[in-house]
Structures are given as C-alpha cells and as structure tokens.
A and B are shown apart, each in its own frame.
Chain A
C-alpha cells in the first residue's frame, strides 16, 4: 500500500486518502467529526498515526497542515445575510419538494402539474422540464455528490430516473401499487430506494433499471427513508409508528424500532452510521443505536407533533420542527435541549442545518423561512415574500405551495 495524495473535506471535517493497492487506486476517509478550533493538532496527528498505517512519520507534518486548514475554516465567521434573488414561477400548480445538487449550482422542483423542473441557480433560468409522469411529482432527488442523475417519485405509482445534463429519461421503475412518496439515492449512486403508500419500500438498480428488492413488513404507508453513508443499510419510517432497518445485500429487515406512539414523520442516519434519529406525531423525537436498535434517548419538549427532524453533518446536533410553531436543537451526545427557536407564527414543517452546522433554516405555514444562529439561538433573518405555506426547503433555496420557488443568496 502506498499513499498517493490527500483530499480535504470541509463538511463534515475529514481527510480523504488516495492510495495504491495491488496496482489499483483506492480511497478511504478519516472522519474528524469531533474536530473543533480548540482541538490540539499535534495530539490529533498522533491519534491518527496510531490507527492509520498509511500515515507515516514523514507524512505527519502534512496531516497537521491539513488539520490546521480545517480548523481555520471552522473558525471563519459567517455574517452572510441572504438577499432575495429571484422568484421562479413556472409551475402553474403548487410545488411539492425541492432538491439541490452538491455544489448548489442546480436545483430541481417537483409539482402538482406532473413535471419536475431543473433550474440553474445563478441565473434562475430553467434548464429542463422532465415530463412523463401521469400524476403529481412528489419526491425528487439528485444523486449527490455526483449530481449527474435525478430521480422523481410520483402519485402515478412510478419512479423515473433522468439524466441531469440532458433531461433524458433513463428508466421508469414500475412495481409499486400506490403513490411513491419518498425516495433516495445511496451515496455510491448505484441504487435508488422508493417508499410508497402501498406499505412497501423498493430498491432499484440505477444502471439496469431493474427492481433489486421489495422491502415488505410495514403495516402502513412508508413515509420516509434514508441510506447510511456506507450504503449497506436503509432505514424506513412508517405511518404504522415503527421504523425498519434493512440490510441492502439481502433485502431483509434486521431490526424494527418500536417505541413511538404516533406516525413517523422523518428518519435519518448520522454521518458515521452509528445512530438513527426519528421524529414522530407523538410529539417526541428518539435517538436509536443503529447496531443494537436500542432507543438511547427520547427527546421531549414539543407541545405538538414533530414534523421534521435532522442531524447536522458531523452528527453532534439534532434539529426538530414542530406543529407547535417552535424548532428545537438537541445535543446528540447529552440529549439535552440546547435551544428552542421561537418566532414563527405557524407550524414549522421543515428544518435543516447549514453544511457547517452553525445555522438552522426553518420553513413554516406562516409563509416565511427563518435563519437561526445555532450558538445563540437568535433569529438572524426572516425570509419573507411567499404568499402561502412553505412546503419544502434546503439550504440556499426553498419551495412553496404558492407555486413559486425563491432563491436566496
């Protein structure tokens, strides 16, 4: 084994090693999820050398420089204020979900008008209209980090795979017997998982377009799903109040997480695949160990349903959105509620972290999106202008039921 070069990953912090083994180029990543500006770089280099044989004495100084670069990035103050850039109004019926590619240069919107549209973020111009579905396009996704393919899930019971560059439809995945309402690519971009109102989830091969597996076992609709980073497991959340963990290779259910007393609104793995977080209509959010399936914490405090939940990229924080009009930030390690974000005049249906994990963005039925500082809990900005409830958002853009999508820079 011979180390060829280093790549730096800012969010979540990590160093990627490119090395040669048996004549083949390979990569592996050293995740530095606990890195902070206060971390001692010398000690960390020592620690990495203990566990990683590729990092030899001669490379130690280089690794230290990389760690300093990562810390420098973390220490950067971000005082950016978002300005309203452009309103896109091409759909004549309400939007459903939106998604963005990794670089943020393109994004996609699904709509009740049965199309999915691909947009150029910088100019706000439409690049492609993906037509072919016979009913509402509900779920949309990019195959990040590559961003060259798009998957769309529709109420017409099918899922379609598209070329992001040309807008050509590669495959139509047929097999569900009810609406497709959630979908995801694995991080390797070899599989698409779809969840349906028919109570099943299915796995599809991106290359061949064939169905790989049907994940059966839920007794009610599958509303959310998430692959882990390595791609060997999928987690599904259902209206039957349970969460399923599935082995990708066999299509078998390895664990059922039971404990919530209401429908599961969303479910997510953290970056290093050790924990799963779930938000439920029972007003709580639960943290589960991915391997044992044990519930390690129930996070309470919300007075109404939890409608969305997510980890930050380093997996240290959890944000929840609730029908009680507040969002909360919990520590994933102590399970304490660190912040309650108050200010919205209506239900909050979506929440997400910035890649750095220092900002939280919320979308509400009060027609605004709000940007919050994670350290102080202060609302930094109110993004106003939508004329109806906001349904979906991701960092630096959002979609709404008022048929428009607004870009904020």
Chain B
C-alpha cells in the first residue's frame, strides 16, 4: 500500500494491538527473530537498511513488531520510533523519557552457539536486577532454531495485559 500502510500503522492502535520495538547490535539477529516469528524463510538475511514491520497474532493480541537496523550509523534514529511503544527489548534505552514504564524483554540470542553467554551471565552483565521502574525479563533463545522465542512472546502478552489493567 506504499506510504499509506505506514500511516495506517501509525493510527492510534486499539487496545488489543501492541507495538514492539526490536533493537540491538548489528548482526544480533533481530531480522532473523522477526522472520522466525512470522514463520518466514530465514536463509537469506542481509543487514537491515531502514526497518521491517511485521504483524503477528498471539494470544488474542496483534503484535506489531518494528525491526530497526542495528548498525551504528542508524542508531541515532531509533528515537523516531519510540512514541506509542508498548514493549521494548534492549537495555541502555531505559533512561529515554518517551519509553518510561515500557516493559523490557532481553533476548539472549544465539544460544545455539557453544560460545554463547548464558542468560544469567548477561543479566548480571547488564545489571538487570537494578531495574525497578518497569517490568523486565531475560529469555535465552536461538533465532536460528526458533527455541525460546515463543516463551519470550508469551511474557510480552502477559506483561502488556497487566500493564493495561
């Protein structure tokens, strides 16, 4: 629908629609995770220029996931997407005013690799236990195999539910 689709998605979303921002380092696997969620082919993924948007149905929620390129030069523009975001999936952005109170889910990705750091180690490294002003969760996963992703999304739906109440 061209640009009209962007305006449609911008429209004030009804209660059962959630906007999720997927942010992280370049080559972190954000696009792979998104495609895995939408059950799409993940064999040919190149670094994201700009962004991808996918809508996924889960537990009665419509999850609009915005996957934004992770390269360093694009990061300053993440801010463009902060308003009206229901769930956020990276630390460092916790101080951002527009994102206050937004639940954070950290995916400890690439667990299919032997050298991957376990979720507990990452949680410690990121000092997650010091976050008190919002809900947070760390979920180990592998975007390649799909393991752990559904669990993460279940947490998203659950925490959005309790936030809306």
* Chain A nearest CB, measured from B10 CB (Å): 6
Residues of B close to A135: CB separation below 8 A? 80
Residues of B close to A239: CB separation below 8 A? 11
Residues of A close to B11: CB separation below 8 A? 197, 221, 239
Question: Which 4 A-B residue pairs are closest in the complex by CB-CB distance?
Answer: A349-B2, A94-B50, A391-B3, A93-B50
- Which secondary structure dominates where chain A touches chain B? loop
| Interfacial residues, chain A to chain B (CB-CB below 8 A) | 92-94, 96-97, 112-114, 135-136, 138, 155, 179, 181, 197, 221, 223, 239, 265, 305, 307, 323, 347, 349-350, 363, 365, 389-392, 401-403
Residues of B close to A402: CB separation below 8 A? 49
> Knowing A305-B1, A403-B49 touch, does A197 contact B7 (C-beta < 8 A)?
yes
* Chain A nearest CB, measured from B21 CB (Å): 14
* Chain B nearest CB, measured from A93 CB (Å): 5
| B50/A401 in contact, CB under 8 A | yes
| B4/A307 in contact, CB under 8 A | yes
Interface residues of B in 35-70 (CB under 8 A from A): 49-51
Chain B residue nearest to A266 (CB atoms) is: B4
Residues of A close to B10: CB separation below 8 A? 155, 179, 197
Question: In the docked arrangement, what's the CA distance between A307 and B80, Å?
Answer: 26
| B77/A113 in contact, CB under 8 A | yes
| B3/A96 in contact, CB under 8 A | yes
Q: Give which listed residue, B2, B51, B73, B74, contacts A307 with CB less than 8 A.
A: B2
Residues of B close to A307: CB separation below 8 A? 1-2, 4
* Chain A nearest CB, measured from B121 CB (Å): 34
Q: Give which listed residue, B1, B7, B73, B80, contacts A181 with CB less than 8 A.
A: B7
| B3/A92 in contact, CB under 8 A | no
In this complex, the interface size class of chain B, counting residues with CB under 8 Å from chain A, is 10 to 19
Encoded as 1 (CB less than 8 Å from any A CB) or 0, chain B from 1 to 36 comes to 111100100110000000000000000000000000
Question: In the docked arrangement, what's the CA distance between A406 and B48, Å?
Answer: 21
| A112/B50 in contact, CB under 8 A | yes
Given contacts A112-B77, A350-B2, A390-B2, 5 further A-B contacts (CB under 8 A): A92-B49, A112-B50, A114-B77, A365-B2, A392-B2
Residues of B close to A265: CB separation below 8 A? 4
| A114/B80 in contact, CB under 8 A | yes
* Chain B nearest CB, measured from A225 CB (Å): 14
Q: Can you list 28 A-B contacts (CB < 8 A)?
A: A92-B49, A92-B73, A93-B49, A93-B74, A94-B50, A112-B77, A114-B80, A135-B80, A138-B3, A155-B10, A155-B80, A197-B7, A197-B10, A197-B11, A221-B11, A265-B4, A305-B1, A347-B1, A347-B2, A349-B2, A349-B3, A363-B2, A365-B2, A390-B2, A391-B3, A392-B3, A403-B49, A403-B50
